[in-house]
Chains A and B, each alone.
Chain A
Amino acid sequence: EIVLTQSPATLSLSPGDRATLSCRASQSVGNYLAWYQQKPGQAPRLLIYDASNRATGIPARFSGSGSGTDFTLTISSLEPEDFAFYYCQQRADWPPYTFGQGTKLEIK
């Protein structure tokens, strides 16, 4: 089973800041990595698929990069609605699909 480790666990930033979230895989997942955003009490929302492709309707301030074992989600300039939990997920080797433990992006 591929283990995904996200860092940091919590990121405290202000609106307008640049956010950089990391996801590291225990073995190569190629580019088969997705990112999701989840707000409290809501379902997750797909942001990025295949490491760097924005899903439908996702603003351009969200971008993804990386391949193999190291991946980054970048939010170029934080909007108030971006403060949430973020999860990475691999589909390179399944079952099972696996998720990272999440990063909480909070307002500083």
Chain B
Amino acid sequence: EVQLVESGGGLVQPGGSLRLSCAASGFTFTDYYMSWVRQAPGAGLEWVANTHPYGSDKYNVDSVKGRFTITRDNAKNALYLQMNSLRPDDTAVYFCARERYGWGFDHWGRGTLVTVSS
């Protein structure tokens, strides 16, 4: 069974940093691009970033460029999101999602809440 479990969320002050983790199991991690998708309170879904199976290519949305970095550790079946210079509008539930080629985001974690507030 595919499982994605996020951790690392919490309350952080504006300008602070946080590192999210996603533990993956139940599938061959290196077969898939992996993404982070976020959802602000009461709002819709926003794709944040993704990474190639071997980390050679990484992409992100313009609003997080220069602040957020996606990485993966294939030996640990883990995905990470390093978030720096956090702003109040980064407040959201952050989901880890598996990208199935030709399909879309076919498996999601339950999410971890990040709150940026003083």
Residues on A facing B (Cβ under 8 Å): 34, 36, 38, 42-46, 49-50, 55-56, 87, 89, 91, 94-102
Q: Once bound together, how far apart are the Cα atoms of A94 and B33, in whole Å?
A: 13
A89 close to B104 (CB less than 8 A):
yes
The residue in chain B whose Cβ has the minimal distance to the Cβ of A56 is B106
Additional 8 contacts, C-beta under 8 A, given A34-B103, A55-B106, A95-B60 = A43-B109, A44-B45, A46-B104, A46-B105, A50-B103, A89-B105, A96-B62, A99-B46
Indicate whether B11 reaches chain A with its CB closer than 8 angstroms: no
Instruction: Pick the residue among A36, A42, A94, A102 that contacts B105 (CB under 8 A).
Output: A36
Q: What 1/0 flags go to B102-118 for Cβ under 8 Å of A? A: 11111011110000000
Which of chain B's residues have a CB closer than 8 A to the CB of A43?
A: 95, 108-111
Which of chain A's residues have a CB closer than 8 A to the CB of B111?
A: 43
Instruction: Pick the residue among A50, A87, A96, A99 that contacts B102 (CB under 8 A).
Output: A50
Q: Once bound together, how far apart are the Cα atoms of A59 and B49, in whole Å?
A: 30
Which of chain B's residues have a CB closer than 8 A to the CB of A44?
A: 45, 95, 105, 108
**Can you sample 24 A-B contacts with CB below 8 Å?**
A34-B104, A34-B105, A36-B104, A36-B105, A43-B109, A44-B95, A45-B108, A46-B104, A49-B104, A55-B103, A56-B106, A87-B44, A89-B45, A94-B47, A95-B50, A95-B59, A96-B47, A96-B59, A96-B60, A96-B61, A97-B50, A99-B44, A99-B46, A102-B45
Q: Once bound together, how far apart are the Cα atoms of A49 and B103, in whole Å?
A: 5
Q: Once bound together, how far apart are the Cα atoms of A44 and B46, in whole Å?
A: 12
Q: What 1/0 flags go to B80-118 for Cβ under 8 Å of A? A: 000000000000000100000011111011110000000
B64 CB → nearest A CB, Å: 10
A95 CB → nearest B CB, Å: 4
B44 close to A100 (CB less than 8 A):
yes
B38 CB → nearest A CB, Å: 11
Which of chain B's residues have a CB closer than 8 A to the CB of A95?
A: 47, 50, 59-61
Which of chain B's residues have a CB closer than 8 A to the CB of A89?
A: 45, 104-105
The residue in chain B whose Cβ has the minimal distance to the Cβ of A4 is B44
Which of chain B's residues have a CB closer than 8 A to the CB of A97?
A: 35, 47, 50
